[in-house]
Amino acid sequence: MKYLKILLTLCLFNVGIASADQPSLRDKIGQMLIIGFEGKELNDSSPIAKAIDENNIGGVILFDYNFRTKTFDKNIANPAQVKKLNEQLQVANSSANKKHNRPQLPLLISVDYEGGAVDRLKADYGFPQTVSAADVGKMTPEAANEVATVMTNTLEEAGFNLDFAPDVDVNVNPDNPIIGMLGRSFSDKPEDVALYSTIFSQDFLQHHIQCAYKHFPGHGSSNADSHLGFVDVTDSWKEYELDPYRLLLNSDTPCGMIMTAHIVNRKLDDSGLPATLSHKILTDILREQLQFKGVIITDDMQMKAISEHFGLEHALTLAVNAGADMLLFGNQLSEDPQDPEEIIDIIEAKVKKGEIKEERINEAYQHIVAFKQIK
C-alpha cells in the first residue's frame, strides 16, 4: 500500500512538464483517449502497453465482464491482481513518458464503480460489498458517508485514480431501464441528488481520486437504453435535470469531469444530434451557461446510439467540435477492438484539412493536463 501511495502521489502531483519536449499534435490527441483492453496483467507484448508507449493515450478503463467473449475475465479477478495491474500500467506510462521525453502526466486508470448494479469491483472477487445509489439516497448523510468511505478506500487500495461516478441523473422515470430500474439515481429530487453526489465527490477528491458527473444533460427520464440504440428524451426531459449540475458546479469540491449522454434532446438542440455530438449542449450550455471548466468526456463511443447512426470519422469530428475533450472507447461493444492509432490518424487528418481546428485540440489538452494535476 505504501508503494502504491508513493507511486500515485508522484504520478498525480509531480508532473514534469517544464523539462519535457513540447507535445506534438498526435501526442495531444492521444491524451484525449481512454481505451478499454483485454488482459489481467501487462507485459511488453500487450496491445495496451503499445498504445501507452506509441500513442500516448490519456487513460484506460477496466471491466470485469467481457462482452465479446461473454465471460467474466476481462481485467478484474481479485484485489491483489487489480492492484498489480494498475501498478504495471502506471509504470509503463511513466517509462514511456521518460523514453519519449513527454510530460510526466499520469495515466488515468478508470472504472465504472457506482455501487449496486454498476459495480466492476464486486464482492464475488473479494472487494467490499456495495449498495446502489437508490439505497444510499434513503440513508442519512452520515450513513452515506460511511458507504462513500468504503468505496474510496477500495479505489485507492486498488490504484484507480478516476471513477466514472457519481451518477447525477434525476430519477424522473422510475421505469427507465438503464437508470431508474437499476437503482442508479440517488433521488427524484435534484437537491438530494446533489447532496449525496457531494458526499461521494468529497471523499474521492480528498484521496486524490477524480470523479465524473454523468450523464449530461440528463438521462433520468429516458425510456430506453442508449447502449442498444437511439434514445430521444425530448418529450420526457425536465429542465430541473440540470439542477444537480448547477448546484454541484457551484460547490467547493466539484468533480473535474462530466460525462455526456448519447441522448437526443430537441428542447436543447433542435438539430436532433445526440448530446455527445452537440455543440449547443456541450459548449453553449455546459461550458458557457454552466461555466464548467473541467474535462468533458463522452460516454462510450461504441454504444449503438452513436455507432449505428454515425460513422467513426463523422462521430469523432462532431464530438471534438462539439466540445468533448476526451473520447471513451471501452472496446466492449464491438467485435474488433478499436485501435487508438486509427482514431489519432483520423483526428490528425481532420485537423490538417481544417475540419477540426487545432485550437480545439489545444484546448482539450489544456483541460486534460489541468485535470491530471488537481490535488
Mean pLDDT of the chain: 93
Specify the pLDDT at position 19: 61
Residue 40 near residue 73, CB atoms below 8 Å? yes
Cis check for the bond before 215: say yes or no (omega within 30 of 0): yes
Mean pLDDT of 123-132: 98
Specify the pLDDT at position 358: 98
Residue 92 near residue 49, CB atoms below 8 Å? yes
Asked if the model's pLDDT at residue 100 lies above 60, the reply is yes
Residue 310 near residue 301, CB atoms below 8 Å? no
Q: State how far Cα 226 lies from the chain centre.
A: 16
CB atoms within 10 A of CB 352: 11
User: pLDDT (tens digit, 9 = 90+) per residue, 267-307?
Assistant: 999 999 999 999 999 999 999 999 999 999 999 999 888 88
User: pLDDT (tens digit, 9 = 90+) per residue, 78-88?
Assistant: 999 999 999 99
Residue 12 near residue 106, CB atoms below 8 Å? yes
Nearest to 344 by CA among 29, 126, 31: 29
Asked if the model's pLDDT at residue 64 lies above 80, the reply is yes
Residue 158 near residue 85, CB atoms below 8 Å? no
CATH number of 86's domain: 3.20.20.300
Residue type, 353: K
The pTM assigned to this predicted structure is: 0.93
Q: What does the alpha-carbon distance between residue 74 and residue 115 come to, in Å, rounded to a whole number?
A: 19
Residue 187 near residue 193, CB atoms below 8 Å? yes
Residue 152 near residue 76, CB atoms below 8 Å? no
Specify the pLDDT at position 67: 87
Q: Whole-angstrom distance between the N-terminal and C-terminal Cα of the chain?
A: 19
pLDDT band at 155 (very low <50, low <70, confident <90, very high): very high
Q: Residue 148: CB partners within 8 Å, gap ≥ 6? A: 199, 200, 202, 203, 204
Domain that includes residue 42, residue range:
2-372
Per the structure, the count of domains in the chain is: 1
Q: Which residue has the cell 477496466?
A: 62
User: pLDDT (tens digit, 9 = 90+) per residue, 207-256?
Assistant: 999 999 999 999 999 986 656 567 899 999 999 999 999 999 999 889 99
User: pLDDT (tens digit, 9 = 90+) per residue, 296-340?
Assistant: 999 999 988 888 889 999 999 999 999 999 999 999 988 888 999
- Residue of higher predicted confidence among 185 and 229: 185
Specify the pLDDT at position 226: 59
According to DSSP, the residues that pair with 5 across neighbouring strands are: none
Which ranges of the chain would DSSP assign to H, the alpha helix?
2-13, 25-31, 47-55, 79-99, 133-136, 141-158, 190-206, 243-249, 279, 304-307, 312-322, 340-353, 358-372
DSSP 331: S
Residue 344 near residue 55, CB atoms below 8 Å? yes
Mean pLDDT of 125-143: 98
